[in-house]
Amino acid sequence: MHRTPAKEPKHGPVFQFMRSQHLFRAETVLRAVTGLRAMTAVGAALIMVLLLLASVQGAGLQSAQRGMHAPIKPTEQVPLASSHGEEEREIYGQLAQTVTSFIGEWLVTLDDHTPITVVLTPKTDVRKFKKRLPEPGTWLKAEGILLPDGRLDARRVRPDDSEPNQVVVRLKPSADPNATVQALATEYEMSVRAVLTSANIYLFITREDEEEKITHLLSDDRVWWAELNRVSRVPTGSPYRTWKWGSPADSSYVNQQAFEQVNLAPVAGVISGTDVTVAILDTGVDLEHPALVEALDVISGSDMISDTDRPDDIGPGAAWGHGTHVAGIIHAIAPAARIMPLRVLDTHGRGNTFILAYAIEYAAQQGADVINLSLGADCDSRTLTETIAAVVAQGVVIVAAAGNDASPIPTCPASLPGVIAVAAVDEQRVRTSWSNYGPWVTLAAPGEGITSTFPLGYATETNISPGYASWSGTSMATPFVTAAAALVLEQRSAGKIQASVLEQLTTHGIDISALNPLPYSVGRHLDIAAALVLDEPQEPPAVSHALYLPSVLRR
């Protein structure tokens, strides 16, 4: 392809994790110097300076050589120890109904769609809501004691919109960045967890309230900006929970109507995405799925949730299979493209913007030509905005889901400059009732009842026909466009197309404005064959048909 992967960056991996023993070395030195009471003040100060210089240089050198060593995974739902010997729980879920007070019972729906009652008392810490009651659908994190009747006696409840005790900071250029970051860590009692070296962006862990820490950092002359580490998620909404199961054979996957809708037949077997690498940033991919295994390009450090080299799509969880399903759509349209899975969301579909920004940068560093983002993140994240801008400037194509909220409000990363935003339409090319819309949407593609690959392990646990399933959402529409981008890139590399991928796909898309009048515009409809240069008309492949089993609603 036109981009050469940089497997060994000049300064080590673009994203470096730093171990705690190096982060607190400056504090150890200070404690040691304080203990030298017999020395003169001048002598102690001189030794402190020398030791600090050695510490900073050693930490910088070792961190650059080390690469990734510790995960920056999002907070998980795990039992916690209580000072009274009772089991304390952390839960994540969405507020299920309107609440009128910060005292009383709140009904919360967990990731697996199980309801739980959270009991708030005058002692419950709700400061993060800033005296504003949350609306139904708001994601929450609650900590407390699980009562015998199944309710949660909450010690703390907060919006689950950012990672607690984490701050993302971009430093201004300096002669010695290592010294600057170590000085900040010491002065503000923080530790460095990770760094995006290309942009001088650091993830700090703080013992104190992260918002208070940001307030102080913003007034520091060494800091360009500081922000919360926002949570990112698989797009939710009504289509997210609806499943339809088919035969374990792939006939209904290969021959589904959606491929005809995007005009794939004239291209099949002619242009296939040769020498193009597509990165899928999602819940991972079933690494053993027979339809995908030969197409996978698994790179080191690609599971950023569990910090392993195996980005497997594992469960159980509400988002189990999401990445595998996305991968199958891409592979069906661009079968020769290499698929690079990076796991940035856990099995419940939860991640954070720092992980996402790192994965985007790392994928580009490892040679990805197209990046599929069937997920959503906070639009206020400068970390994500600046990372995407840098990667797009390198020529990498980024395609993202518009979201499933039936809303015209721009979502991110889909609405960021240079990103191709994808909405979902039905078989008649009419916007689905749940797809987002608006002038910020670039293209529309099929997103309702899409059949694709699914983890074999799910079938084993649920006694369902293995290997394939149908799912709806803008997450499913997005990989149609991602795969089309891979086909365009193949022809751009061969000199047959001069326009950019964005220009080529939009210019040759089908005008569906009459079917989706304002304000419900969703851009042009994807037309794969029209966007490519075909030497001769091709005979469409024979089509077979298969019946589906009844729909299943996961609860």
Q: Determine which helix (DSSP H) or strand (DSSP E) holds 279, and give its type and residue range.
A: strand 277-282
402 near 423, Cβ under 8 Å?
A: yes
Q: Which of 336, 338, 347, 337 is nearest to 312 (CA)?
A: 347
What backbone phi and psi angles, to 5 degrees, belong to 256? -70, 155
Q: Which of 282, 303, 346, 527 is catalytic?
A: 282
Residue 312 annotated in active site: no
Residue identified by tokens 């209580």 is 82
Q: Which of 246, 315, 321 is nearest to 551 (CA)?
A: 246
Measuring CA to CA, how many Å separate 325 from each of 281, 453, 515, 531? 12, 5, 28, 25
Q: Determine which helix (DSSP H) or strand (DSSP E) holds 91, and give its type and residue range.
A: strand 87-95
User: d(Cα 496, Cα 500) in Å, to the nearest integer?
Assistant: 12
User: d(Cα 41, Cα 28) in Å, to the nearest integer?
Assistant: 18
Q: Hey, CA dihedral for 466, 472, 475, 481, is it positive or negative?
A: positive
Edge-to-edge strands of the sheet including 338-343?
338-343, 277-282, 370-373, 397-401, 420-425, 443-446, 524-525
Q: Which of 361, 374, 369, 365 is nearest to 328 (CA)?
A: 374
Q: Which of 153, 289, 312, 322 is catalytic?
A: 322
What backbone phi and psi angles, to 5 degrees, belong to 225? -155, 160
DSSP 197: T
Residue 289 annotated in active site: no
Residue 433 annotated in active site: no
Q: Which of 374, 452, 475, 521 is catalytic?
A: 475
**Residue numbers annotated as active site:** 282, 322, 475
